[in-house]
Amino acid sequence: MPGALEERVLYLVVCAAPAAADVESLARLALDAGWRVYVLTSPAGRRFADVDRLASLTGEPVRSDYRLPGEPKQLPAADAVIVAPATFNTINR
């Protein structure tokens, strides 16, 4: 459990769907609540979200490339994960 002064880390996973265009609202709410937000999209999800705006808002690049085996992890461990929008295809996987 994070300490009182430690930032909590949220992974915001964005799938390819029209609702992803408003994911910035969710990121803002999380940031305002004290979360450190890392946005991850599926490769197709990049087309639905404003990745430059999200990167500017969170201070972190939006990640959409898969990490290859043997490549180091570049993200801190997440305290929470939100998948939004969660498409039918994603849920079935």
Note whether 14 and 49 are within 8 A (CB): yes
Query: Domain extents for the chain?
Result: 15-64+82-92
Q: Return the structure tokens found at 48.
A: 């639905």
- Which positions ≥6 away from 70 have C-beta within 8 Å? none
In terms of pLDDT, which residue wins out, 6 or 42? Answer: 42
- Which positions ≥6 away from 16 have C-beta within 8 Å? 41, 42, 44, 45, 47, 48, 87
Residue 67: predicted pLDDT: 83
- pLDDT tens column, 43-87: 888 999 999 999 999 999 999 988 889 998 889 999 999 998 888
pLDDT range class, residue 38, cuts 50, 70, 90: very high
Note whether 80 and 10 are within 8 A (CB): yes
What percentage of residues in the chain have a pLDDT greater than 90?
A: 60
